[in-house]
Structure 1
Amino acid sequence: MSILHLAILSPFLIAITIPFIRYLMRNVHIGWYVLATPLILFLYFFQFVSEIRTGKSISHQVEWVPSLDLNFSAYLDGLGLLFALLITGMGALVILYSIFYLDKRKEKLHNFYVYLLLFMGAMLGIVTSDHLMILYVFWELTTLASALLIGFWFHREKSTYGARKSLLITVFGGFSMMAGFLLLYIEAQTFSIQALINQSETLMSSPLFIPAMLLVLLGAFTKSAQFPFHIWLPDAMEAPTPVSAYLHSATMVKAGIYLMARLTPLFGLTESWSWLLLSIGLLTLLWGAISAIRQTDLKAILAYSTISQLGLIVVLLGIGSKTFLVTSMESKEIYAAAILTAIIHLINHATFKGSLFMVVGIIDHETGTRSIKKLGGLMALMPVSCTLSIIGLAAMAGIPPFNGFISKEMFFTNLLSIGEMGIHSGLEFMIPFVGWVASVGTFLYCSIIFFRTFTGDFDASQYDKKVHEAPIGMLISPIILAALVLILGIFPNLWMSSIVEPTVLSILPELNLEQIQTKLSLWHGINLELMMSLAVIILGFFLYRKLPFFQNKYSFFKKEREPLHTLFDRSIEGLDVSSKWITNLQMTGSLRDYMVFMLLFIIGVVGYTFYRFNSVSLQLSEASYVPPYVIGILLILIISTLAIPFMKNRITLIIVLGLVGLSISLIFAIFSAQDLALTQLLVETVTIMLLLLTFRYLPAFKPEFRSKRKKGINLLISISVGLGVFLIGASAFSFGNEVDFDPVSDFYIENAYELGGGTNIVNVILVDFRALDTLLEVLVLGIVGLAIITLVRHRLGRGEDV
């Protein structure tokens, strides 16, 4: 195992130690212990920058289950390194923030940091996995860990609702994604992402390619909160603010973005991929901005703003995937610029959105509310938080000199380039217009956050506590992020060659570094993009001033909750009602009904198999000779079995039942299966003794009335089961017309001595080949015995002998 593997797994290892370390740090916030993990990991991954900036990649592999083609393949290139730095860097800042945000006397911090480290490790696993199924394992682990973090305050109903909602939606997407991965494996016979990319042109011709793409996109869309699967994100805001700042600005919601970027070289060869990303991204971008305007909770506004910004990144990925569909180098460079913009905005969004979430957490922490209906006039009381808000909101709104302005201008350039080239016929003007309208919405909800929170009159009666600025410890992390917002705005080329360009090269491997190298500048002259930005500011400010008018006149602006939330709730309620109906239909409390269900299932499976493969052809000419005394024993066995259902006396019934078992033992002995004969004889003896011992405790025998219909059903099921068993036995000695059933006994005969080290094949099967089954069977029998004794004792009462 390489150091890279250990780095990926280290958060899990540290998480295991937290329940024990907390007892040694009773007087110290355990967050200080956890903080070292992301800091060390950030430095570890940062050392790869110099190597990966040249276009190289790092790969290490550990075999896990070779027979199933499962191996832990760690692959680090520009894209994986960018996300690893975001995960660890933001993780360190969030943990530092949480140390001052969460009170160690009131919160179960050991649980919180265990969940957080589990999530961090799972995210690192996603962005460094080259094996699709290993990626899926980490993917679902992020789903589980995020649900635990969202529901951390489980005593709040909204927290558990948000956790359950995010779990259901993202697990649905995860299952869909796994199905897509399996379809790719069926066609390519590999789970390696890099190997699949190398086979992309061959895979395109497969009928499974488009279904696989759609299923994978379902997983990515649910994770990255794309319309209409975005509804889990606003309810996830019930999580503690450090969770929102980490999961919903830089990590979890970006996992879907990562997957789309990683698989763009594979699926980008089809027009469908580009159109799906572009259309869903535009819809999400616009709807997120509109929905944010309708909210009154600060975190809800940021949640919908995150949805909108994620849609923007998906739009850029959709445009950039066109690089694989054009042939001229000029066109490739134009579309590759969209991928460059997506990566730059991804970094920018992590900085200003992380800072804004932390500032909103500070406001909530110091005032006790996040409602803009109560807030106002905090500028004088919380000047540092106000300044940080101005920086973050200006960056998100696209105002210079902050980093968001650069990526927004580049976004406009990419949209206008599409119109100029006329690739999307008929949409040359619509796509840039939709992007511009969404930008107006972005400016509008940024204005709502700032003016409704920090300006106006301060009303102390609206707050349950004395409002003041946050302590310096809580301000450090948002100050660092705000500083990055300003630095990356003034010096946009700071990380271009070391981080951004290698990332773009990972997504567009057919290009080289020279073709994607770009020099950015804060001022790029007076052009159409700048005019669009000025129009956004002017119209956005005008709409903010007129917003009360629109809210009073149109009910649309007063509805904070989308119809999609109601649809989800009704669907879950309907699913619950349906599941109860099905459960009540099956769980009748009758042992007979349960036996009928199981036997009907067996009859159906066996019947369909023989009907489908026509696998029985009796060849009596090849049947072995059966001595007359064996036939006599079989007749006794058959007559005894048929007599049992008609007996009215229990003693007689037990004796005949023993006769059946004795007959089976004799047949085993005659055909040289001494072990089976002895086992059967022992079991029959013990069973009869137990039945006789418990006989006197049974109530008097009363014939049970059954209708002719029920008797007919019982008879039909019995005959069908008998016929099915006969057909299974007959198939072992015959060959079908289409499919040959090789007897499994050949395998045991050939391998019993070599693999099991024994000449008694039956014993080897039980204690070697089926050792785990045998162990569990013994365990189950023991548990059943204990359960029976417990029930009997409970019924008898104390002091009575069982």
Structure 2
Amino acid sequence: MVTVLIAILLPFVCAALIPLLYRRLRRVTHLGWFVLSVPFILFLLLARYIPQLAEGKTFIHTYEWIPSFNINFTTYLDGLSMIFGLLITGVGSLVILYSIFYLSTKESLHHFYCYLLLFMGAMLGVVFSDNLMVLYTFWELTSVSSFLLIAFWHHRKASRAGAKKAMMITVFGGLSMLAGFLMLYVASHTFSIREIVANVEVIRDHTLFTPALILILLGAFTKSAQFPFHIWLPDAMEAPTPVSAYLHSATMVKAGIYLVARFSPVFGGEAVWFWLVSVIGLVTLFWGSFNAVRQTDLKALLAFSTVSQLGLIMSLFGLGSVGHYYGYEENSILYTQASFAALFHLVNHSTFKGALFMMVGIVDHEVGTRDIRRLGGLMSFMPITFTIAVIGSFSMAGLPPFNGFLSKEMFFAAVLAIRDVEAFSIADIGLFFPIVAWVASIFTFVYSLILISRTFLGKLQPEKIDKKPHEAPLGMLISPIILCLLVVGIFFFPNILGHYILEPAMASIYPTFPTTSELTPHIHAWHGINAELLMTVGVIIIGIILFKTLKSWKPLYRLFSQKYTFNTYYNRMIEMSENGSQKLTNKYMTGNLTHYFVYIYVFFVALIAGYFVWSDAMTFNFDKDSAIESYELILVFVMIFAAVWMIFAKGRVTAMLLNGVLGYSIAFFFVIFRAPDLALTQLVVESVTTALFLLCFKYLPDLMPELPRKRVQWSKALISIFVGATVTIVGLAVVHYDRFEPVATYFNDAYELAGGSNIVNTILGDFRAFDTMLEVVVLLIAGLGVYALTKLKPRKEEADHEN
């Protein structure tokens, strides 16, 4: 399918063009308008397939990449990948439009948009890839590109630290996920996700099935900031607000959610999967909402609220996995609705959280601070921004008439229904799910009120803010207004989204179910007075009470000492690893060349000799060997004599002459074995190097070596003997190894085809030419690097920052 391939590659192509075109483009128009066309066009291209996906169709195409290793560039468009593709391109379009007015033209905009397009292409590659190795490649590219975006303001120490933390945690999870993918390949003999899903019953009994499950979840949890890996997300808020609105509300943090949803058909129905996904999701939901209340920075508050909402979505996918346990039965439909609620809230969260991030960016941009202790009374100065904040916050709190209310009610219905499940001994702790969900929702309501009241209500504090507050320009308001319209529109017309977007995604998660109409509930804003509505009323009442009494109970947060936070443990771990590596490096990096040779030789002997000892490869057969002539023995003894004498030589010139004797002796051996070209090369090289050594060393004083202790002498002698014996054994083993066809057969055929009359000349002329070509390429790259460094000039924006 060409459209999906274009969707993946177009952002990369445009990112590559930006460094070449940005100087010309900025003379004509803002660079952002050119970049805006990329996600907007892709959004329209993908939207064309919505009706076909709603009818149950899927689109797949394979482009051969490394077929010998079963790695092909296979693109797959179904309902699940479509919902993420529309979020990536749709929210991406609004974020780029917002950034045109948010970022100053003095910023390094070509770098910013280049990084943003790289990230967009990587995310699209993740959601549209069917091959596990290709998915992993794009997965790690999202980590690299997000690192560049978070550290965009690299002159700030906090930005660099936040980018490094996000990179380390997410890459750790990515490597764990890679190990899980390889285990799945061993169990299923395929890298195709579709084929793994089709053969899941075969691989469930494999010993690597559960380890693969755990390792893949590690990748998902780290990327989606689940407890206890959530600590990178608040620090990543040092990125520019457009980056936070895009990466940390709609796209990057949803990659882990996508992974869980995509692999639910594989691992769903397993007890380990259910408990890990649902419980960790609920713990993340509670911990994020609980910590959001204590924040004084608006972006930090939104960061912890994002952690909380991601935990909500994750827990719903865990609860919905029970449907895979029961299979297609009427009573299992209730549990699959949890997955539907997860997809629904996935979309809702992207709309209201994207609008809230942009709102906070507007406040910071127009007022000069995000500290709620310095804010207040902005409603009369920024009425449109206030309206955006109310719509986004109330949707996040789960109040009508906003879309968050609908998915939150479905969340309550799911945690109440799970109590009656008989599988996995859920009934024993069934109350755990609704209680944690309800308490976390109360804190969500509290911090939503804090966000609105502390920023826009109360009295203005002009002495504490840096700028006179005023409404943002229209360009900065368009994107959050569109998102707010979606928040309200989805509430009144939710089943349009449900039929065309959510139902096909459900069919992707539950491929064995015959029709989606039996799975998908009809979304209603009013279900009568039921347990879910009563839970919502309780959230509002208790939430208002806690908000009004915030000053009296907020000091409880002081009981949580900073010495025992996850951030503290992370910092200690980094500090200990750095100190430990420094101490270890100082021990072996002594500056003594003799020590370095000892390390190399000991490792060489341990590895090679150890292999020969523990294997049966050390087999010798001297029956077919040629007889050793007397002149060959003479040359060997000459070389032995020169090598031993060189050790005890007290002058550098003598040592160099003896080294030359060794080189010339090797040349004589080439002559004896009828390789005159090699002999001539050896003679020339040895003559030149010996002359150069003599020319340089004759001006140096004679060697006056300090005699080492006898123990050191004996250790070096033993190492020398072992190295020599190992090399000899390797040579003999190679000559007498007859288990495979010798490589000489290949070279015999190759040099005849090459038209040569001498096998050595042909190897040097043809095979060595490739090596020479690569060496030339390396020199070219080094030359370009040197040229770039010589032409490098301080950028104007860096000079401005320094001033």
The normalised TM-score by structure 2 is 0.93
Q: How far did 1:634 drift? A: 2.0
Equivalent position of 1:591 in the other structure = 593
CA distance in 1, matches of 2:768, 2:517: 61
Q: How far did 1:54 drift? A: 1.6
Say if 2:542 is the partner of 1:544. Answer: no
Does the 8 Å contact 1:616/1:734 carry over to 2? no
- The structure-2 alpha-carbon separation of the partners of 1:495 and 1:780, relative to structure 1 and needing over 3 Å to count, comes to closer
Equivalent position of 1:312 in the other structure = 312
- The structure-2 alpha-carbon separation of the partners of 1:748 and 1:587, relative to structure 1 and needing over 3 Å to count, comes to farther
- The structure-2 alpha-carbon separation of the partners of 1:720 and 1:371, relative to structure 1 and needing over 3 Å to count, comes to same
Does the 8 Å contact 1:294/1:560 carry over to 2? no
Q: How far did 1:543 drift? A: 0.7
The letter for the 2-side match of 1:549 is S
Structure 2 residue aligned with 1:505, among 493, 504, 507?
507
5+ unaligned residues in a row in structure 1: which ranges?
A: 786-802
SS of equivalent to 1:26: helix
SS of equivalent to 1:494: helix
SS of equivalent to 1:686: helix
CA distance in 1, matches of 2:501, 2:758: 64
- The structure-2 alpha-carbon separation of the partners of 1:771 and 1:269, relative to structure 1 and needing over 3 Å to count, comes to farther
Q: How far did 1:751 drift? A: 4.9
Equivalent position of 1:82 in the other structure = 83
Structure 2 residue aligned with 1:752, among 750, 753, 774?
750
Instruction: State which drifts further: 627-636 or 55-64.
Output: 627-636
Does the 8 Å contact 1:278/1:314 carry over to 2? yes
CA distance in 2, matches of 1:759, 1:489: 82
Does the 8 Å contact 1:422/1:428 carry over to 2? no
Does the 8 Å contact 2:748/2:759 carry over to 1? no
Deviations 1:424-475 (A, max 9, x none): 1311111111111111111111111111111111121111111011111111
CA distance in 2, matches of 1:724, 1:137: 40
5+ unaligned residues in a row in structure 2: which ranges?
A: 784-803
Equivalent position of 1:798 in the other structure = none
Does the 8 Å contact 2:95/2:245 carry over to 1? yes
Deviations 1:178-236 (A, max 9, x none): 11112222332321111222222222222112112211111111000000000000011
Equivalent position of 1:132 in the other structure = 132
Equivalent position of 1:535 in the other structure = 538
The letter for the 2-side match of 1:324 is H
Equivalent position of 2:790 in the other structure = none
Equivalent position of 1:264 in the other structure = 264
Q: How far did 1:601 drift? A: 1.1
Equivalent position of 2:625 in the other structure = 623
CA distance in 2, matches of 1:255, 1:30: 28
CA distance in 1, matches of 2:623, 2:707: 47
CA distance in 2, matches of 1:713, 1:774: 40
Q: How far did 1:759 drift? A: 5.1
The letter for the 1-side match of 2:111 is N
Q: How far did 1:244 drift? A: 0.6
Equivalent position of 1:100 in the other structure = 101
CA distance in 2, matches of 1:782, 1:599: 34
The letter for the 1-side match of 2:583 is W
The letter for the 2-side match of 1:15 is A
Q: How far did 1:771 drift? A: 4.3
Say if 2:472 is the partner of 1:495. Answer: no
- The structure-2 alpha-carbon separation of the partners of 1:577 and 1:162, relative to structure 1 and needing over 3 Å to count, comes to same
Deviations 1:217-264 (A, max 9, x none): 111110000000000000111111111100011000001101111111
Equivalent position of 1:23 in the other structure = 23
Instruction: State which drifts further: 397-406 or 614-623.
Output: 614-623
Q: How far did 1:672 drift? A: 2.7
SS of equivalent to 1:59: strand
CA distance in 1, matches of 2:392, 2:300: 16
The letter for the 2-side match of 1:723 is A
Q: How far did 1:136 drift? A: 1.1
- The structure-2 alpha-carbon separation of the partners of 1:475 and 1:772, relative to structure 1 and needing over 3 Å to count, comes to same
Q: How far did 1:169 drift? A: 0.7
- The structure-2 alpha-carbon separation of the partners of 1:447 and 1:783, relative to structure 1 and needing over 3 Å to count, comes to closer
Does the 8 Å contact 1:151/1:163 carry over to 2? yes
The letter for the 2-side match of 1:67 is S
Instruction: State which drifts further: 776-785 or 240-249.
Output: 776-785
Q: How far did 1:322 drift? A: 1.5
Does the 8 Å contact 1:8/1:125 carry over to 2? yes
SS of equivalent to 2:618: coil
Structure 2 residue aligned with 1:716, among 697, 703, 718?
718
- The structure-2 alpha-carbon separation of the partners of 1:768 and 1:594, relative to structure 1 and needing over 3 Å to count, comes to farther
The letter for the 1-side match of 2:80 is L
SS of equivalent to 1:516: coil
CA distance in 2, matches of 1:674, 1:784: 35
Equivalent position of 2:203 in the other structure = 203
Q: Percent identity?
A: 50
Following superposition of structure 1 onto structure 2, how do residues 328-339 of structure 1 map, counting pairs within 5 Å?
329-339=329-339
- The structure-2 alpha-carbon separation of the partners of 1:553 and 1:74, relative to structure 1 and needing over 3 Å to count, comes to closer
- The structure-2 alpha-carbon separation of the partners of 1:780 and 1:277, relative to structure 1 and needing over 3 Å to count, comes to closer
SS of equivalent to 2:388: helix
CA distance in 2, matches of 1:685, 1:485: 82
- The structure-2 alpha-carbon separation of the partners of 1:273 and 1:782, relative to structure 1 and needing over 3 Å to count, comes to closer
Does the 8 Å contact 1:752/1:759 carry over to 2? no
Structure 2 residue aligned with 1:762, among 757, 760, 763?
760
- The structure-2 alpha-carbon separation of the partners of 1:782 and 1:700, relative to structure 1 and needing over 3 Å to count, comes to farther
Equivalent position of 1:64 in the other structure = 65
CA distance in 2, matches of 1:779, 1:716: 42
Equivalent position of 2:703 in the other structure = 701
The letter for the 2-side match of 1:219 is G
Q: How far did 1:757 drift? A: 5.7
Does the 8 Å contact 2:282/2:311 carry over to 1? yes
- The structure-2 alpha-carbon separation of the partners of 1:422 and 1:650, relative to structure 1 and needing over 3 Å to count, comes to closer
Equivalent position of 1:416 in the other structure = 416
Following superposition of structure 1 onto structure 2, how do residues 391-790 of structure 1 map, counting pairs within 5 Å?
391-423=391-423, 424-511=426-513, 512-552=515-555, 555-556=558-559, 563-734=565-736, 742=740, 745-746=743-744, 748-749=746-747, 751-753=749-751, 758=756, 760-769=758-767, 771-775=769-773
The normalised TM-score by structure 1 is 0.93
Equivalent position of 2:37 in the other structure = 36
The letter for the 1-side match of 2:523 is L
Instruction: State which drifts further: 577-586 or 225-234.
Output: 577-586
- The structure-2 alpha-carbon separation of the partners of 1:779 and 1:387, relative to structure 1 and needing over 3 Å to count, comes to closer
Deviations 1:298-337 (A, max 9, x none): 1111111110110111111111112221145123312211
The letter for the 2-side match of 1:722 is G
CA distance in 2, matches of 1:317, 1:758: 66
Q: How far did 1:68 drift? A: 3.1
SS of equivalent to 1:62: strand
Equivalent position of 1:222 in the other structure = 222
CA distance in 2, matches of 1:476, 1:717: 74
Say if 2:367 is the partner of 1:367. Answer: yes
Q: How far did 1:728 drift? A: 0.5
The letter for the 2-side match of 1:284 is T
Does the 8 Å contact 1:132/1:181 carry over to 2? yes
Does the 8 Å contact 2:4/2:77 carry over to 1? no
Equivalent position of 2:358 in the other structure = 358
SS of equivalent to 1:126: helix
Does the 8 Å contact 2:58/2:76 carry over to 1? yes
Q: How far did 1:598 drift? A: 1.1
- The structure-2 alpha-carbon separation of the partners of 1:382 and 1:23, relative to structure 1 and needing over 3 Å to count, comes to same
Q: How far did 1:151 drift? A: 1.1
CA distance in 2, matches of 1:562, 1:464: 35
**RMSD over aligned Cα, in angstroms?**
2.2
SS of equivalent to 2:529: coil
The letter for the 2-side match of 1:242 is P
Does the 8 Å contact 2:173/2:220 carry over to 1? yes
Equivalent position of 1:13 in the other structure = 13
Q: How far did 1:780 drift? A: 8.4
Does the 8 Å contact 1:378/1:458 carry over to 2? yes
CA distance in 1, matches of 2:600, 2:109: 48
CA distance in 1, matches of 2:568, 2:375: 28
